[in-house]
Amino acid sequence: MKEFFIVPRISALLFMAALLPLAIPVYAQAPDALTIVSNSRDRIKADTVMTRSRMVITAKNGSTSERALEQYSKDGPKGNRTVIVFQQPASVRNTRFLTMENPGNADDRWIFLPSLGKVRRLAASEGASSFIGTDFSYDDISSQDRGAGLDTHRILREESLNGKSCYVIESIPRDSSYQYGKMLQWIDKGNSVNYRIELYDKRGNQVKLFEITELKDVQGRLTPMVTKMTTLNAGTSTTITVERIQYDSDIPERVFTTNYLETGNARG
């Protein structure tokens, strides 16, 4: 299960070290940027995850609006599949969104809007559009499943963030059609949590900031419970608070279909 969430194989290394003369020091090889990013995105191991969350959208003038949503994710033969269902308020109730990982390429995405009464497939060019009026774009929502190989990564430096020792990694999309020109990520050297992501446009201007502000151990997994996306120029933000989460529960395959998006029926 990836993350928007390592156990090093040391036995062979220890065996080889034992064969060396004691006077010769053995140095651990520092991880490369691609490995660090891959480990961060793949650090939560689970076949499925179900969440119930509260979303608070804060306008420039400080006023807020709330939304309630449920999310279902499941690994499949080609990668992760995720469905998001809005429950409240009435203006967005039963809006459903499906994203399916497509290794090596952009994700496949569909949305059902009750006002239209039909499922619509989203074009890759719509990735920068706002996700149901929030500070997240469709690309942002899908970023938890974005393959690390779609970007070129390099370690810029190591620095402390809120008392945590982190790698600061620059990631540049290989595909020039992707909405961002680059991303800077602060990844914890100890637990691989990606605490902060700065998102830049193609002119090099920072346009958004994504932050994980609260973590909790859930079923033995260090899980983001509060995340926040801020749109800098607009002065707006969207905060998502996970109120309930469960790993490795049974989720019917039918949930990850366009038929479910249209009907909301997971049976049959």
Task: Let me know: does 196 contact 186? Beta carbons within 8 Å.
Answer: yes
What domains lie within the chain, and their CATH numbers? 11-263 (2.50.20.10)
Burial class (CB in 10 A: 0-12, 13-18, 19+), 63: exposed
Determine the straight-line distance between the first and last CA of the chain, rounded to whole angstroms: 27
pLDDT digits (tens, 9 = 90+) for 48-95: 999 999 999 999 999 999 999 999 999 887 788 999 999 999 999 999
Is pLDDT of 234 > 90? yes
pLDDT digits (tens, 9 = 90+) for 39-60: 998 899 999 999 999 999 999 9
pLDDT digits (tens, 9 = 90+) for 124-179: 889 899 999 999 999 898 776 678 888 999 999 999 999 999 999 999 999 888 89
Task: Let me know: does 130 contact 151? Beta carbons within 8 Å.
Answer: no
Full-model pTM: 0.84
Mean residue pLDDT across the chain: 87
- Residues near 153 by beta carbon (within 8 Å), at least 6 away in sequence: 33, 34, 36, 37, 169, 170, 171, 172
* Residue 141 confidence (pLDDT): 87
* Residue 79 confidence (pLDDT): 82
